[in-house]
Amino acid sequence: MSLKYTTVDDIPQIHQDLRRAFRTGKTKSIAFRKQQLLNLCYLVEDNWERIKDAFFADLGRPREEAQLLELNGTLGELKEAYDNVEKWAAPEKAPFSWLWFAMSPTIRNESKGVVLLISPFNYPLYLLLCPLAGAIASGNAVLMKPSELSPAMAALLTELVPRYLDPELYQVVNGGIPETTKILELPFDHILYTGGGRVARVVLAAAARHLTPVTLELGGKSPCVIDPKCDVKTAAKRIMWGKLVNAGQLCLSPDYVLVPEWFQETFVEALKNAYYELHPIDPKVSGQVTRMVNESHAARVKALIDNTKGTIVFGGEVDMETKYAAPTLIKDVRGDDSLMSEELFAPFLPVVPVKDVDEAIEFINERDHPLNIYVFTNNSAFKEKVFSNTRSGTAAANDTILHVMAYGMPFGGVGGSGTGCTTGKYIFDTFTHKRCTTDSPGWLDPALMAARYTPYNKSAFRLLNALLKPTLPPRDGSMPLATKLSYGAVIALAGLAATWLACTGKLDLRLPLRFLNRL
């Protein structure tokens, strides 16, 4: 499928048009945003089969897998934005404080302006439309740059977006490096880049020129840590399934397995059995495993597998003509192997033997923080040990991939795997400026705040300063004086109230007094 690239010279005008459209204030209306979000849901629902065709054209992706893991998840995220936009966009009251409440401190959730979304080839629908929903919900105009490596999906979205959404506010620009470079020369109010770390550096450098805030959704090598006492059969099946989804071309893909050396053969056998259970027919024939996206990715993964010093248990073939990389299990892989040199993004599963869980943790911590860490164990102490002694964007126990589909959870990397989150309310907040607002009544000065003015009035200043200065807990751990005084005041007030009620006959003190006597 050929994709018509946007002319580089047209890009500044498109950007200008988006800025102008944003300034009309059309997106301030929540009803408008809601309608656009609903239209976006309809875009997906009405074109369900065409979207699956595009996945197949770009990646040879099995239709069931695309539906189960990408289409449903996309529609779910869009619907969540549609359902919650009023709640998310509503102004928020600051926590109550006696000192400041009179100024009505309020946080206004305001749109940032024109947002740029740059997305990768591997989940070309989810990774473009979910952030788009967040940007629409937060009232921004959007310039979208889909990946040129998934041309069928990019062409389909270029056709559908103006049919379903306001064409003045939401525009798709297509192209490769020259076009994206031109886009990045322009000032945006936020950039969300999803892709690899190398290009992320280019994006960050370009954004720095305009002081544009950037959210990075990157990848990395996500390990699986195996406790030999786990449910081995289930663990092996879930890892192998997760590895082969989209032929490993997934930021959530389990990249490699860390297993105690003495347990390696048992776990490798379980992984082998799981593979043959999942694929009783060779996937090259059954078409149940996606292809590599293009020739250069096929050549990249071929070099990785050809250079491994590990032992190939099954697979190992990369057919350059069809861009098919065979599911491959490799054991006895060491930390300096070709397969450990970069994120695999391929259906290859290296098994790395380690001494024990401590060495597994050390192995992970010596590398960039991964996007995900997977732990397979029935022992909560084992899970906790791995979770609390490592860092990663997400961490899941006893499964792979599915955790990102749970609504309401933040999804994003840390360090080398990215910064910021891209799901639900979190992506709404990413594209929102939290604007602090107050409104001070005139009586504030006579009441208290006049003490701020020069020339300072000593006693008023002392009072205001005493109220403003926070009280810290005493270093010896005893109760702070201010807390003691306030408890004292509460007890005294309660005593006075009880005495008054008793004197007026509204409270009978005999019962509590009899009880106290018994003590």
> What is the nearest approach in angstroms of ligand NAD to the Cβ of residue 215?
10
Which two tokens mark 200? 């992320």
Question: Using the rule CB under 6 A, which residue among 148, 231, 399, 429 binds ligand NAD?
Answer: 148
> What is the nearest approach in angstroms of ligand NAD to the Cβ of residue 402?
15
Contacts of 463 (CB under 8 A, 6+ apart): 448, 451
Residue number, 37 or 292, with CB nearest to ligand NAD: 292
| Using rule CB under 6 A, residue 177 touches ligand NAD | yes
Residues 415 and 404: their CA atoms lie apart, in Å, by: 19
Residues 22 and 258: their CA atoms lie apart, in Å, by: 50
Contacts of 153 (CB under 8 A, 6+ apart): 51, 54, 55, 58, 124, 125, 146
Cis peptide before 12 (omega within 30 of 0): no
| Using rule CB under 6 A, residue 113 touches ligand NAD | no
| Using rule CB under 6 A, residue 218 touches ligand NAD | yes
Give the residues across from 310 on adjacent strands. none
Radius of gyration of the chain (CA): 30
3-class state of residue 243 by DSSP: helix
| Using rule CB under 6 A, residue 217 touches ligand NAD | yes
Residues 308 and 304: their CA atoms lie apart, in Å, by: 6
Residue number, 165 or 200, with CB nearest to ligand NAD: 200
Question: Using the rule CB under 6 A, which residue among 418, 424, 430, 464 binds ligand NAD?
Answer: 418
> If we measure between CA atoms, which residue out of 255, 227, 225 comes closest to residue 242?
255
Q: Which of residues 274-313 bind ligand NAD (CB under 6 A)?
A: none
Distances (CA, A) of 6 to 3, 147, 154, 173, 187: 9, 13, 12, 6, 18
Residue number, 89 or 116, with CB nearest to ligand NAD: 116
Residues 89 and 107: their CA atoms lie apart, in Å, by: 10
Question: One of 70, 77, 179, 217 is an active-site residue; which one?
Answer: 217
> What is the nearest approach in angstroms of ligand NAD to the Cβ of residue 217?
3
Residue number, 252 or 397, with CB nearest to ligand NAD: 252
Residue number, 259 or 339, with CB nearest to ligand NAD: 339
How many residues at the interface with ligand NAD, by CB under 6 A?
29
| Using rule CB under 6 A, residue 194 touches ligand NAD | yes
Which two tokens mark 517? 């006597």
Residue number, 177 or 493, with CB nearest to ligand NAD: 177
User: Does the annotation mark 277 as catalytic?
Assistant: no
> If we measure between CA atoms, which residue out of 13, 22, 5, 17 comes closest to residue 180?
5
Give the residues across from 418 on adjacent strands. 217
Which two tokens mark 92? 């928020």
DSSP assignment letter at 440: -
Question: Using the rule CB under 6 A, which residue among 89, 142, 149, 292 binds ligand NAD?
Answer: 149
Question: Using the rule CB under 6 A, which residue among 347, 413, 420, 424 binds ligand NAD?
Answer: 413
- Farthest-apart Cα atoms in the chain, separation: 98
| Using rule CB under 6 A, residue 371 touches ligand NAD | yes
> What is the nearest approach in angstroms of ligand NAD to the Cβ of residue 187?
16
Residues 291 and 325: their CA atoms lie apart, in Å, by: 7
Q: Which of residues 222-251 bind ligand NAD (CB under 6 A)?
A: 251
| Using rule CB under 6 A, residue 180 touches ligand NAD | yes
| Using rule CB under 6 A, residue 326 touches ligand NAD | no
> What is the nearest approach in angstroms of ligand NAD to the Cβ of residue 197?
7
Question: Using the rule CB under 6 A, which residue among 73, 113, 139, 195 binds ligand NAD?
Answer: 195
> What is the nearest approach in angstroms of ligand NAD to the Cβ of residue 44?
18
| Using rule CB under 6 A, residue 254 touches ligand NAD | no
**Sequential DSSP letters for 86-144:** HHHHS-EEPPP-TTTGGG--EEEEEE-SEEEEE--SSSTTHHHHHHHHHHHHTT-EEEE
Question: Using the rule CB under 6 A, which residue among 62, 73, 113, 120 binds ligand NAD?
Answer: 120
| Using rule CB under 6 A, residue 416 touches ligand NAD | no
Residues 274 and 20: their CA atoms lie apart, in Å, by: 56
- 267 burial (CB, 10 Å; 0-12 / 13-18 / 19+) is buried
Residue number, 275 or 345, with CB nearest to ligand NAD: 345
> What is the nearest approach in angstroms of ligand NAD to the Cβ of residue 42?
25
Q: Which of residues 64-93 bind ligand NAD (CB under 6 A)?
A: none
> If we measure between CA atoms, which residue out of 305, 317, 229 comes closest to residue 267?
229
Residues contributing to the site for ligand NAD (CB under 6 A): 118-123, 127, 145, 147-149, 176-177, 180-181, 194-196, 199, 202, 217-219, 251, 343, 345, 371, 413, 418
Catalytic residues: 217
